[in-house]
Amino acid sequence: MSDLDQARTIVTALRGAVAEAVGALARASEADGRISVSRMDEHQTVAYDLASIASAVAAAEHAVSYGKHGDHEAALALAYAADVHADLVARMTGRWTELGIDTAPSGLSVEDVTAAVAAGRDTRFLSRIADTVLRTGEAGPRHLPEDLEMVRQTFRRFAEDKVMPVAERVHRNDEDIPDDIISGLAELGCFALSIPAEYGGFAEGGDDDLLNMVLVTEELSRGSLGVAGSLITRPEIIGTAIEKGGTEEQKQRWLPSIASGEKMCGVAVTEPDVGSDVAGIKVTATRDDDDWILNGVKTWCTFGGRAEYLLVLARTDQDRSKGHRGLSLFVVDKPRFDGHAWVAEQDGGGKMDARAIPTIGYRGMHSFEISIDGWRVPHENLIGMDEGLGQGFYLQMQAFANARLQTAARALGVMQSALEQSVTYAQDRKVFGTALADYELTKTKIARMAALIAANRAFAFDVARALARGEGQLEASQVKQLACRTAEWVAREAQQIHGGYGYAEEYTVSRLFVDARVLSIFEGADEVLALRVIARTLLTEALAG
């Protein structure tokens, strides 16, 4: 069989195994005809591994479609599918009985599947993939239409000319993002990519609207996650929330200034004792005539100093038994501040007191803990106004679907940079008289990096088009969970290829390693996405089917 046929064979087996395991876990988690979260949590480890594997299998299906473009692409698809097969076996071996299955699904070990997996993991096969990657520095061609390729190249040049020269300095000194980078990206329309054209943006309702955002994000993240790659995230979240839930007057008032880059944005959702479980939000908003008065503490508010709009999720219904149904979203105006600490005060006595949280990576943006004391917000700044009361959680979830895709794109940029750094170093560095790039183990590492990047990129591209059509909510969570975990492995392998120099701050790969670590934590922690979104959705669908 051809490489692509063998990849298809593996993916068919993987799909069947996942379906069988999901069905068994759904039966074990069922109560009164519905999925019981408490019963599912009795099998958390299996559910987590199954969700993670399901995300990887979904990516493998998209990799097979990508493999139709040519021989190298087909080889990448086969290598990735074989890797996923090995991962599934490693995660689930010994756990089938916990699912009520006597043994591993027979489809995983039939003769043609076993042969295909062997072909995809053969080191000589992987070496041939690596030879192509070592020549190009790329995992594989992107196969974009001319207009999208032009967008990608424009932002790649900006990243190389403006971002990369300052990336190491900003990271080591934990400096602010230079203003010329923000203004330069604003001139390029970076903040307008997902905002509808009628409000000053570039989105026109086509399937490629979000793909533009993915391409731009990857290229900027390739330059630096903290200096440029994450600048789109907050406008993406706040813009989507306003578009989905705001009144027409609010859209006209806020969206054009976000699209132009005139107003920078921050998101204040997380609290010191409340992370992914937003139903426990404690920050309160109390009505006082035409104002709301905000009180409480928000944390991990990235870019909260530089931002002039803060998207704040607060409890407007003080009956805590209502959980997430008592939450609403506000757009809060504040002055711009530079540096690592700031205090904002209102004439009436309202105050925000903020400090940046020191972090090992993802520097430049600065993530703040903000104490809010009696801060007044006009009722007209409640997204949706009267109709927006109690809708904050739902608007936030819609906004975070796009943000999760954007985070996957950030992971792709980190991975691409790590691959390029590895290729250059492996070709230049000689060990025992031989270039690192000529060793079989190095080639295996680089081939696996390329296969992982190509599969995740193909998945992200297709999810972008699905979300633009109003579909793909589950897949957005899957690609985020998968790409962010993958970025950690790719950055780690890149650092290992560099040896001791990979641990030195003078080499870019050390920054990539610490930056990659944050990706599985924000915009939906890895475990929460796996258990509360991916596994729960898959089990619900299996039970319904």
CA angle 325, 329, 332 (to 5 degrees): 155
d(CA 487, CA 519): 8
Alpha helices, DSSP H, located in 469-507: 473-497
Nearest to 298 by CA among 357, 243, 385: 357
Nearest to 458 by CA among 421, 494, 418, 412: 412
Count of residues making up the chain: 545
Strand-pair category, 434-435 with 309-315: unpaired
User: What is the token pair recorded at 345?
Assistant: 């005060």
Question: DSSP assignment of 498-532, as one string?
Answer: TGGGGGSTTSHHHHHHHHHHHTTTSSS-HHHIIII
Q: Is 428 exposed, middle or buried (0-12, 13-18, 19+ CB in 10 A)?
A: exposed
d(CA 140, CA 410): 18
d(CA 242, CA 298): 21
Q: Which residue has the tokens 């063998």?
A: 6
Tell me the residue type at 291.
D
User: What is the token pair recorded at 200?
Assistant: 């000053």
| CA distances for 351 relative to 268, 312, 338, 344, angstroms | 15, 15, 17, 6
> Which sequence positions are flagged as catalytic?
523
Q: Which 3-state string (H, E, C) describes 34-68?
A: EECHHHHHHHHHHHHHHHHHHHHHHHHHHHHHHHH
d(CA 383, CA 243): 10
d(CA 422, CA 446): 8
